[in-house]
Structure formats: C-alpha cells, structure tokens
Structure 1
Amino acid sequence: MLRYLPVAAAVVSCTLWLFSCQTASKEKPVSDSTVAAALPDSTGLRDLRYHDQQQIERVIYGFCEHFDNGDLHKCVEFMDDNIRGEVDGVKLKGKTNWTAKIDSLLMSTRNTHYQPRHLISNMQFYPGINDTVRVTMYASTLWTDLTNGQIQLMQVGYYKGKVVRKDGKWLITVLNSLPDSRLVKQFYQDVQGAEEILR
C-alpha cells in the first residue's frame, strides 16, 4: 500500500494543478485583461496600418529606383496628378509638368557616366485626414563613376513628403529632398550672426 502512495500523491497534485489552471483562466480570460480593454479593436487597425505602410514604402522605393535608373516615364505611376516638391534639384509641379520635362531630363543625363543611387532608411508615417499620410525618411545619394568604379557620396539628408490613397492605391502628392548642406549653411549663418551680436 505504501509503495502506491507516491503515485497517488503525484496524481492528486497534477489534478490540483490542472484544476487551478482552469480556474485561473476562467477568472481572468484574455478578453477581459486590461490590455485588451485598453485596445479593444486594435488588432485589425494594426494589420491595416502595417499593410498600408508596406504599400507606401513600395511607392517611395519604386519612385526612387526608377528615378535612379533613368526610367522617368515609370516614375509617373507613383505620382498623384497634383504632385509638388523638389527631389535632388528636380522640381515637381504636377504629373503633366513632369511628363513634359522627361525628355529634357533624360537628354541632360544621357552622356554622363554616373549611376545615382538613393539609400533610404528610417521611414516614419504620420496619418492625416482624407486618406493622407505624411512620410519622413533619411536619404543619401551615391554616385558610381562607371568609368573607374569609384563611389562618391553626393548628398545626405532626409526626404519629407505626403502620400494620398486614391482608388485603392497610394500615390506621392508631395516630395521634397532636404540635404544636410542647408543645415550647415544655416549653422554658419547663425554662428556669424551670434558673433556679430557679441562684438
């Protein structure tokens, strides 16, 4: 009889443990937790936002890749009709204006021996109203000299813009490149202005 006592004790303790687990889960189910109560429908929204973020990233990356490769006609696919801004010195004033400038832009780069590349990181999204999202990101532009393979860092800074969703597609409606060189100029102007005040 004594030799069955450890087995009986083990069975009783397992039963008590299972019972306590079931009771605990009934007392505080996940749906009643404070986290779930604080964010009742957040799962669906988070999934939707993540999906939209992925689509917005594809639009920005697609625009930059075609811009770098000289496929300026394909850049139009990512633009809203009223796009505005300035990207690396190229002014954006509506899709029609961009299309009219494509040939002259291509002619200006035809005889160059440089391959530009945009490196984009730290993309941030700020949802707005009327299916618009503000987007900011770091952007660096590299040029590869195709004659000797040298790589040169042309500009570092960030892009700021806005995308809008129309007919289920995200399109760029504002895009501006803001190189850090303007901050350097501003810094030196501020320092010179401060020195003049101190004199």
Structure 2
Amino acid sequence: MCDLHNPLNSFPLMLKPLFAAAMVMSLFACTSQNQPQRDPLKESSTALPDTTLKYDVRYRDQQQIEKVIYGFAENFDNGNLEKCLEFMDDSIRGEIDGVKLRGKENFATRVVQLGESVKNAKFQQRHLISNMQFEMLPSDTVRVSMYCANVWTDITSGEIQLMAVGYYKGKLVKKADKWLIAVLNSLPDSRLVERYYKEQEDSLLKK
C-alpha cells in the first residue's frame, strides 16, 4: 500500500536515495546555523562535577597542578623567566594578549618580552589567581580554568595599579610523572568591552 504523504513516493526509484540525502543535509545545515557560537569568556567553569565519570581528578594531582600554575606565575612575576620554561610542555600552544603561539621556543620569546617590559618600566607584577577548576580528560590530561588579576606596583612611588582581570584557561599533561602546561590561554575581560562596543556599532550600521 502506497503512503501518499511520503514525498519519496513521487520520485523514481533511483532518485530516492539522492533526495533523502539532500533532505538530511538540509536539516543538518539548519541545525548548525541555529547553534550559538562558543564564547570562552562567558563559559562557566563552576558546573557541579559529575562524580560518576570514569575520569576524575585525584586530590594529589590537583595539588601538583596547582603547584605548577602557581610556580609558573610566581617565577614570571619575579623575573625568573628561564624557570618558567620548566613548567611548559615542549609542544605548548595557546594565546597570550591576543598573540597566538605554538611551541616552547615561541612561548619563551613572548615570556621574555613581557618580563623585560615590566622590568624596564620599574613595575613589580603580581598574579592573583582564584576559582581554579579542574576537569579530567583521557590520556593523563586535565583542563583547568581560573580567574586571574594582574596587579602592578610602581617600585619608585609605591602606587598599585590593577592592570587586567580575566580568565586563564588551558590544559596540563602528565609526562614522566610530572605535570606540564600544554595549553595556556590568557582571556582578559577587556575583550568583553571591545565586543560590546563592536556589537553596538554593527547594530547602528544595519539601521
């Protein structure tokens, strides 16, 4: 018995598979267009952890990861730039101040530039890190997210300035029983301000 409501019945037998494939692709395209764009600055890192997951971050690993992150930040603040490299994986990648980097050598060059700029300006930088979150991934990898505020002290006047507030997001990988930074992204909240004004300008241009 023929189903009159099925549009495939009105096509020759050989064209039915092509028509069905076109319908599936069209449905997929519509679904993809309706998906919201990812915004790492607005994504919450405080979701309640699922304790039923196979991969869970052990407390000892959390402690070791915290030491790596705090050690990296403190050595950077104090100008021990070579020490910072010991906390990085050779294939580290990420984005610092809008500059995309890949590889330990490129990160080293950028870290030295940032460190020297602060040193020459007679500022003492401090990282204030909080709200650290962990998510265990396969292959001895942990995704981390934290708030970070950068405070600078003018060593000539003692004046303290809040230079930046935002996220540090990245991944650490365990190699030879040692945790190393594999991905490091600095995402300052100033991007939200820039995006807000750009959205306003775009909406005015469309009117």
- Normalized against structure 1, the TM-score is what? 0.69
Structure 2 alignment gaps of length 5 or more = 1-50
Alpha-carbon spacing, 1:90–1:69, altered in 2? closer, same or farther (3 Å): farther
Alignment of 1:159 with 2:168, yes or no, is yes
Alignment match of 2:187 (pick from 178, 184, 189): 178
Give the % identical residues.
Answer: 59
TM-superposed CA distance for 1:177, in Å, is: 0.6
CA contact (8 A) 2:118 2:124 kept: no
TM-superposed CA distance for 1:94, in Å, is: 1.8
* CA–CA distance in structure 2, aligned partners of residues 170 and 142 of structure 1: 27
TM-superposed CA distance for 1:93, in Å, is: 2.8
> What is residue 83 of structure 1 aligned with on the other side?
92
Aligned-residue RMSD, C-alpha: 2.6
> What is residue 168 of structure 1 aligned with on the other side?
177
* CA–CA distance in structure 1, aligned partners of residues 84 and 205 of structure 2: 47
Aligned residues: 156
CA contact (8 A) 2:76 2:115 kept: no
Q: Which has the higher helix share?
A: 1
When structure 1 is superposed on structure 2, of 108-117 and 160-169 the one drifting more is 108-117
Alignment match of 2:147 (pick from 138, 149, 156): 138
> What is residue 27 of structure 2 aligned with on the other side?
none
- Normalized against structure 2, the TM-score is what? 0.66
Alpha-carbon spacing, 1:98–1:179, altered in 2? closer, same or farther (3 Å): closer
Alignment match of 1:65 (pick from 55, 59, 74): 74
When structure 1 is superposed on structure 2, of 96-105 and 49-58 the one drifting more is 96-105
Q: Would you identify which runs of 4 or more consecutive aligned residues in structure 1 move more than 6 Å?
A: none
CA contact (8 A) 1:121 1:137 kept: yes
Query: Partner of 2:62: helix, strand, or coil?
Result: helix
> What is residue 114 of structure 1 aligned with on the other side?
123
* CA–CA distance in structure 1, aligned partners of residues 98 and 202 of structure 2: 28
* CA–CA distance in structure 1, aligned partners of residues 187 and 109 of structure 2: 25
What amino acid is the match of 2:165? V
CA displacement 1:169-193 (0-9 Å, x = unmatched): 1100010110000111111212232
What amino acid is the match of 1:177? S
TM-superposed CA distance for 1:147, in Å, is: 0.4
TM-superposed CA distance for 1:107, in Å, is: 4.7
CA displacement 1:91-127 (0-9 Å, x = unmatched): 6432233446666665544432100111000001111
Structure 1 alignment gaps of length 5 or more = 1-38
TM-superposed CA distance for 1:52, in Å, is: 0.5
